[in-house]
Structure 1
Amino acid sequence: MATLTRALQKLALTSTQNAPKVLTSVRYRHVPPPKPEIGHGKSYRRIVHFPENYTVKPLDVTNLGGRDPETGRLAVKGIGGGIKHKYHWIDWRRVGPSEGPPQTERVIKIIKDGCRTAFVALVAHGDKLKYILATENMKPGDLIKTSCHIPRIPVRANEGDAYPLGALPLGTQVHCIEKVPGLGGFLVHTAGSFATIMRKVDNRVIVMMPSKKEFSLLENCMCTVGRLSNVEHATTPIGSAQKNRELGNRPRSGWWQRKTGRFGRKLRRPPPVKTIGPKEDTNQEVVKLSFDGYFCKTPRAQFHY
């Protein structure tokens, strides 16, 4: 009866039509804000405030802690806290002369940037300073070259030199590779990683990425020679939970109990070996002797049973 009463309360007769009209409830008409989408170029870890002109001064950073900057809703659960780090603006474009001798730059110092895995090198050319990603064996005082010219004979480049892909011999290890000429170093930024030039076909170069995938790029795409610095980053253990929190990583779960059987077999000793054989008859009659004397008549005590 109560169900029929509620159904009749939603019916109403209009003046123009005699057909009943159902009135919907307005209790749940609130539309929540859209959920943030994970990925698509957003990390939800920090926002870097870039100025209009390039500078080597540390940039201002706003830590998000895994939340969407527009709605404030939690997007990534594993991000939060951490030590505040200074962000150094990397100049991804290595521009050099297209003809003549290459441009020479000097490495001033190598620093550790907390916002990236590889080390950062401060490079000077004339009165201009810029940051680039440091290679494995780069040290202060080194001279690096940059050129956009593709000669007829491949160039024997050193670590840190920037040349087009078509100017380097096969088997060269490179990083900070451009996808499109003039875009800037877009591929291979992780510490200790490198790509390998495999072969050349017409005006394109086949490059094998660290993931063993092969990309076909134009020969005039710029790249930097050598392997990136901080090679031991991937094999260095974090060491403690507190260090992991300092890196800005929150615990994945607060209810991780391995021995409950929730995630597989409990960690306990296997049962003992079970012997299988004929069953023993436990209903046998027990014969009890009631004679208290000696079984053997002899004076020797060792024969008295």
Structure 2
Amino acid sequence: MFGLNKALQRLIIADLPIIQKTSVRFKTKHVELPEIGHGVAFRRTVHYPEEYTVKPLDVTNLGGRDPKTGRMVVKGIGGGIKHKYHWIDWKRVGPKEGPPQVERVIKIIKDGCRTAYVALVAYEDKLKYILATNNMKAGDLIKTSCHIPRIPVRANEGDAYPLGALPIGTEVNCIEKYPGLGGFLVHSAGCYATISRKAPNNRIVIMMPSKKEFSLPQECMCTVGRLSNAEHADTPIGSAQKNRELGNRPRSGLWQRKDGRFGRKIRKPPPVKIITAKRGADPEVITLSCDRPFVKTLREQFHF
């Protein structure tokens, strides 16, 4: 009887399906982490309306977290004073022929969400914000034109002209990468780029603040002068509390930037980078798969 029971147990165990046990404790879920420095800012989110306005925009502080998943991405961001955001109109559009468009500076204000000062500009019944230059003040008249004359223009600080209309050696900011994009390069306080030389195919070479050289089309718009708040880079923060008010959390103190004790390597700047507009999608290629003549005739010249 004991042998029969043992045989039945082996038969029942052999017929059962094999079940793999998995530990719930070590079960993980793959989550795609956001990439830092690829167009997504983890400090704040600005709520833009549908149409342009000069009213201060509402801001949601993220504190270094991803807005979708809520995970901590950047540990050095957090806290800080909540500021309103002033919407900058990056496109300086003027007439392509005739005299330039004249605008008046209403006031210069400080924006807590950027380093350079902001200027409120009026033209007819329209208001807009632009980045203020170093010597710009309320009441100034600035010009905007898209015309490229034969003789270079002697522009004043704050005027907006194409790169091809300005003489060599002019200090510029808020430069377009290609025509119609809007001011894309040189936004920080006290920065400026210099028009170095003219290149073939109606292109202008500019030297950036990092000493790199870009070759841009001569139709790209730019603003003449150096950006305001030039002493920003040389002003110390002063205290740890002021750094927390700026939205920076304390770091460990173990990491130190490489100093000049052991010297540094002197490297020449990279060659000129030619910037062109983005190409559209390639057209779809249609391949004909017909293996017989299109025309039923005995003449060979009609056989394709």
Q: Is TM > 0.5 for Structure 1 vs Structure 2?
A: yes
Deviation per CA, 1:230-256, whole angstroms, max 9, x where unpaired?
Answer: 000000000000000000000012x76
Give the alignment's Cα RMSD to 1 decimal: 2.0
Distance 1:35 1:163 in 2: 42
Residue 55 of structure 1: how far off its partner (Å): 0.1
Aligned mate of 2:197, from 193, 196, 199: 199
Residue 39 of structure 1: how far off its partner (Å): 1.3
Distance 2:27 2:51 in 1: 48
Aligned: 1:93 with 2:86: no
- Report SS of the residue matched to 1:245: helix
Q: Which structure 2 residues correspond to residues 276-287 of structure 1 after superposition, within 5 A?
A: none
Residue 60 of structure 1: how far off its partner (Å): 0.7
Distance 1:14 1:145 in 2: 89
Aligned: 1:141 with 2:130: no
Instruction: Identify unmatched segments of 5+ residues in structure 1.
Output: 1-11, 259-305
Which residue is 1:167 aligned to? 165
Q: Which structure 2 residues correspond to residues 1-305 of structure 1 after superposition, within 5 A?
A: 23=20, 25-27=22-24, 28-202=26-200, 203-253=202-252
- Report SS of the residue matched to 1:244: helix
Structure 1 residue runs of 4 or more that deviate by more than 6 Å after TM superposition: 12-16
Distance 1:54 1:14 in 2: 73
Residue 29 of structure 1: how far off its partner (Å): 3.1
Distance 2:192 2:229 in 1: 12
**Paired amino acid for 1:25:** T
Distance 1:52 1:13 in 2: 69
How many pairs align?
Answer: 242
Distance 2:85 2:156 in 1: 28
Answer whether contact 1:82 1:246 (CA < 8 A) is retained: yes
Distance 1:108 1:50 in 2: 23
Distance 2:199 2:249 in 1: 47
Residue 36 of structure 1: how far off its partner (Å): 2.4
Residue 26 of structure 1: how far off its partner (Å): 4.4
**Paired amino acid for 1:23:** Q
Residue 30 of structure 1: how far off its partner (Å): 3.3
TM-score by length of 2: 0.76
**Paired amino acid for 1:210:** P
Larger radius of gyration: 1
Answer whether contact 1:47 1:64 (CA < 8 A) is retained: yes
Answer whether contact 1:33 1:71 (CA < 8 A) is retained: no
- Report SS of the residue matched to 1:123: strand
- Greater mean alpha carbon deviation, residues 29-38 or residues 174-183: 29-38
**Paired amino acid for 1:56:** V
Distance 1:157 1:43 in 2: 35
Residue 35 of structure 1: how far off its partner (Å): 2.1
Residue 201 of structure 1: how far off its partner (Å): 1.4
**Paired amino acid for 2:205:** I
